[in-house]
Amino acid sequence: MKTTKLVILIMMIALALFLILPNLSWAQDAATVYKTKCAACHGADLGGKPAAKIPSLVSDDAKKLSDADLTDAITNGGKDKKASHAFANKGVTPDQVKMVVSYIREAQKK
């Protein structure tokens, strides 16, 4: 009987952790990653800053880029190897890069 109660308790704790962990503040979503890493230059609306030669991420040119090109630009600085974009060296994980690429693609649809 005690074993059954212990197993039920462990299962309940596991279920609670499964439901709670994705919602903790350290579990970032794509919008949060974009806002903390990209928005300062590319803007909250992904429109870029033409006067500073910072490209829009929702422009026709950006829409033509493949996901691999966007991923490379974010991770390694793209074909120009821009140091400001080498986020792989700045603690951004591959999963976070994928989330940002998806976030950009969703914004491009609007």
| Structural domains of the chain ordered from first start | 27-109 (1.10.760.10)
18 Cβ partners below 8 Å, 6+ apart?
Answer: none
Number of C-alpha atoms within 13 angstroms, CB side, residue 100? Answer: 28
- Give the pLDDT confidence score for residue 58 in this predicted structure: 92
- Model pLDDT for residues 12-32, shown as the tens digit of each residue: 888 777 766 655 544 468 888
How confident is the model at residue 26, as a pLDDT?
Answer: 47
Mean pLDDT of 87-95: 79
Q: What is the pLDDT of residue 53?
A: 86
Which bin fits 65, alpha (ψ -120 to 50), beta or left (φ > 0)?
A: beta
pTM: 0.69
CA distances from 95 to 13, 33, 69, 80 (A): 27, 11, 16, 23
How would you classify residue 72: left for phi > 0, otherwise alpha for psi between -120 and 50, otherwise beta?
A: alpha
pLDDT tier at 104, thresholds 50, 70, 90: very high
What is the SS3 assignment for 91?
coil
d(C-alpha 52, C-alpha 55), whole Å: 9
